Structure 1
Amino acid sequence: MEAVTVVAHPLVQHKLTLMRDKKRSTKGFRQLLNEIGMLLAYEVTRDLPLELVETETPLTTMMAPTIAGKKLVFAPILRAGVGMLDGMLSLVPSARVAHIGLYRDPETLTAVEYYFKAPSDVAERLVVVIDPMLATANSAVAAIDRLKDRGARDIRFVCLLAAPEGIQRLTSAHPDVRIWTAAIDTHLNDHGYIVPGLGDAGDRMYGTR
């Protein structure tokens, strides 16, 4: 099975191009990130297991498919991952949510944890980790390390943009975690930003610097 899935749907690609535009407003960027989050959630949940249950329609009784097992968990990496969460929850409103607070040390680029809260039975659920940018992958690796410490074993990672360096780091650290992304850009610059990229997703989403 492929370690990385690039979601080439025309709507995803169109919205991503709009987000790359440096003149896009904070409101517009946030709205587009929310919309892409929903579209990416559709792709990452494409192979969820189904089971048949008895259902009574207005005309008859039938055996109809429904998602099997416990409800999945969306795990956004704060703060930028939250920008994709509402779109995903609009598609899967019954999902549980874990929050993983990490920031990137500006000198070392390493991930520093400041908050972690997850469902107590996260080990029994599919966990979808969310972060718009897979750059150095330091935050992604740290988040998945933390989830695995809590027993999670069925983990997927969803991002808007990925750099080859980030993909290599994440797949090396966690070869069992598949990645979904809208695009793989060319490289990281000296400051750990994806090029051509779209800048800092958190800053553009919240209007900060």
Structure 2
Amino acid sequence: MKVQEILKTNSIASKFISQLRDTGIQADRMRFRRNIERLGEIMAYELSKELHYEAKEVNTPLGKAEINLPKDELVICSILRAGLPLHQGILNYFDDAENSFISAYRHHPDNDEKFEILVEYLASPSLEGKTLVLADPMLATGRSFANVLKALEPMGKPAKIHLVSVIGSDEGVEYLKSEFPEDSKLWIATIDHELDNNGYIVPGLGDAGDLCYGNKLQH
């Protein structure tokens, strides 16, 4: 799996990441969601450079113009619920893509720091021969992405897989390299170096789902 870390090059994306991390700004949920959405747009643009294109002719008021347009069939799959604003950012640029939604959450069977990733809901079109874009803002251990990939297997084999995330950990990235095809690619804004004992990214930004939509009851 190849990795493209956006913040390795200076860009406006660093401003959005700074605001996502800032506890003084996080209380504004609308701004938090919008910043994730904007990062989704940035990474969708970068991802678009690796799609396949074909020449098309367009009629203008004064003649005809030839332009290269993407020809890949895309399916954007977001992991509920934190993935929704990231999904929307990607969809803003790939507006004719098909869409898939899946739930994946941390289940703590013994009410301690040990957890398993459970997948309970899936709605998806066929993935056979298409380009799959998996979106989840936080890449901590990497198990959510891996479990989602396994849950999607009955939907067909994609021709190409792209993963899109906002903040990840070194450990999570290394884990995905062993779980995803070699020609898949991870697009991520930035990578932190640590996970705490609960499997959360440090310094990270906290629980993206709660910051987007409010605190949830644990079960």
Relative to the length of structure 2, the TM-score reads 0.88
Contact 1:127 / 1:152 at 8 angstroms: preserved in 2?
A: no
Aligned counterpart, 2:197: 190
Q: Could you say if the C-alpha distance between residues 109 and 43 of structure 1 is closer, same or farther in structure 2, counting changes exceeding 3 Å? A: farther
What SS class does the counterpart of residue 23 from structure 2 fall into?
A: coil
Alignment partner, residue 120 of structure 2: 114
Q: Deviations over 1:77-105 (max 9, x none)?
A: 11111121222221121111100111111
- Displacement of 1:198 in angstroms is 0.2
Q: Deviations over 1:38-67 (max 9, x none)?
A: 111111222111101222222222432111
Which residue is equivalent to 2:18? 17
How many correspondences in the alignment? 206
Choose from 130, 136, 149 the match for 2:135: 130
User: Does residue 162 in structure 1 map to residue 168 in structure 2?
Assistant: yes
Deviation track 1:6-25 (CA, whole Å, cap 9, x = no partner) reads 01251111100111011222
CA contact (8 A) 2:51 2:72 kept: no
Compared CA separation, residues 50 and 186, structure 1 to 2 (3 A): same
Aligned-pair RMSD on alpha carbons? Answer: 1.6
Greater shift after overlay, 188-197 or 91-100? Answer: 91-100
SS in 2 for 1:136: coil
The CA deviation at 1:191 is: 0.4
1:63-102 aligned at under 5 Å gives the runs: 63-70=66-73, 72-102=74-104
Q: Deviations over 1:174-203 (max 9, x none)?
A: 143211100010110000000010001101
Q: Distance in 1 between matches of 2:181 and 2:124?
A: 23
Contact (CA 8 Å) 1:124, 1:152: kept in 2 or not? yes
1:14 alignment partner AA: K
Amino acid at match of 2:194: H
Percent of counterpart pairs with the same letter?
32
Return the letter of the residue paired with 2:63: T
Q: Can you give the 5+ residue segments of structure 2 that lack an aligned partner in the other structure?
A: none
Matched, 1:51 2:54: yes
8 A contact 1:109–1:138 mirrored in 2: no
Aligned-partner Cα distance in 2 for 1:65–1:139: 36
**Letter of the 1:122 counterpart:** L
Name which of 64, 87, 104 aligns with 1:61: 64
Distance 1:109 1:175 in 2: 26
Does the CA-based 8 Å contact 1:104-1:111 persist in structure 2? yes
Amino acid at match of 2:44: A
**Is contact 2:119–2:151 with CA below 8 Å preserved after alignment?**
no
Q: Secondary structure at the match of 1:98?
A: strand
Provide the secondary structure at the position in 2 that maps to 1:10: coil
The one-letter code sitting in structure 2 at the alignment partner of 1:10 is: S
**Deviation of the 1:145 alpha carbon:** 1.6
In the TM superposition, residue 148 of structure 1 has moved relative to its aligned partner by: 3.1
Deviation at 1:31, TM superposition (A): 1.6
